[in-house]
Structure 1
């Protein structure tokens, strides 16, 4: 069952959501579609996180990114990458090309996406959260269960 994010988490709510995602995840990724312009700021961000880079895979590896050709850039979740991701933008859907990579999403220990976004559509959702996590999320962001 999906839990949809109803309005964009911004400012402190965004930071709390990112902290929550990093505690629950081992990996996160961004999607970069083939053929779209990418500014130097994207390369700068990836360079800043290069020691935490895991791999690059085709975007059809996950259902919410298989609508287009592109690449997913997968990184480790840790304190350093958390700090970068929570402080680079002020809202969940600010992750948009050409300034920044798109579709920030988080992967669970089984390799499945449990928290996904499609930034340019202002869409975000969770696939695997328990009742305690639902209560916490409800306290920080506008979600629909």
Structure 2
């Protein structure tokens, strides 16, 4: 199975629908019983009715029996109770699917029927998709995966070659995903070419040897979620203020992506200050900075009025930050394990659940 690294969207999604239609016998959509669908989803069922071959239902009891007896659960779409609609593959149906969505992972209740899948003539998965988990793929060999991935921008398939950073990064720049995870390559710097990913919304960096963030990263103004886990980060650049759509920011030092005997002491971490410009991130909802040399924080953090989750545990803070008083409605704060209070239970208003 060649898995989708990111959701095929736009022209890649349209190309994929044609590709699957040509190679499959039927396609399938689900109606999960616990959801009330919106009018848009009901309209799709109506438009596809001329191409309906079969309608089948699977009860919760049947699902539980499969698990208890450890039998095959059927096709990938059949992971839960619901009604499954099986349609013939044809150009007219393809046109409906293309008009209804622009993203493979958009096939979710309540706006759309669930989990667009395609089956071959033997009733086996050809295009597998669990949209809410952002999981899907094609049962094709590595040669075919390489061929179509190189041919269709946005059809980003995870391939064995991606164990090497150079091959992975080449595909990243070609496909320009919206969600990117850079993990465990052992690299020492993030390429400046990351600035080419203008549509990037989520970025997770987990690389032990990264000590600085490239200037180009702060040109990614669509970014909403940034996570940086590394052993030792030199600084949070003031240019972070340019990421005006950022909603979640997570930074942790002392982080390793494999076993190591050389763990940096918290007192030795280079990150000792947060730039006051962070206060300009007006949309920030989640902020977590852990295991650093921070002894104090800028009062400008009190301007983060949308903040709902603040974790400043395991730092070197000498006192409770003054700006906390400027955020009286902040649902969750964790200040445990700092120099002024080493107790692991220094939290308040812990009713927040992300």
Please indicate, yes or no, whether the TM-score normalized by the shorter chain is above 0.5: yes
- In the other structure, the counterpart of 1:134 is 145
Q: TM-score normalized by structure 2?
A: 0.38
Q: Runs of at least 4 residues of structure 1 off by over 4 A?
A: none
Partner of 1:64: helix, strand, or coil? coil
Higher strand share: 1
CA distance in 1 between partners of 2:118 and 2:52 (Å) = 14
CA shift digits 1:75-122 (9 cap, x unpaired): 111010011112211111111111100110001011111211001111
- In the other structure, the counterpart of 1:109 is 121
Let me know the Cα RMSD of the aligned residues: 1.7
**Alpha-carbon offset, residue 63 of structure 1:** 3.9
- In the other structure, the counterpart of 1:40 is 39
User: How has the CA–CA distance of structure 1 residues 11 and 33 changed in structure 2, closer, same or farther, with 3 Å as cutoff?
Assistant: same
Cα contact 1:26–1:107 (8 A) shared by 2: yes
Higher helix share: 1
Partner of 1:67: helix, strand, or coil? coil
CA distance in 2 between partners of 1:90 and 1:111 (Å) = 26
CA distance in 2 between partners of 1:104 and 1:52 (Å) = 15
Cα contact 2:56–2:85 (8 A) shared by 1: yes
User: How has the CA–CA distance of structure 1 residues 63 and 76 changed in structure 2, closer, same or farther, with 3 Å as cutoff?
Assistant: closer
- In the other structure, the counterpart of 2:96 is 84
Q: Does 1:6 align with 2:5?
A: yes
CA distance in 2 between partners of 1:17 and 1:136 (Å) = 13
Q: Does 1:122 align with 2:134?
A: yes
Cα contact 2:77–2:129 (8 A) shared by 1: no
The number of equivalent residue pairs is 143
Which protein has greater RCO, CA pairs closer than 8 Å, 6+ apart?
A: 1
User: How has the CA–CA distance of structure 1 residues 24 and 63 changed in structure 2, closer, same or farther, with 3 Å as cutoff?
Assistant: closer
CA distance in 2 between partners of 1:75 and 1:26 (Å) = 9
Q: Which has the larger radius of gyration?
A: 2
- Where does the alignment leave 5 or more consecutive residues of structure 2 unmatched? 64-72, 160-354
**Alpha-carbon offset, residue 62 of structure 1:** 2.7
CA shift digits 1:34-81 (9 cap, x unpaired): 121112222211111111001112356634234321111111110100
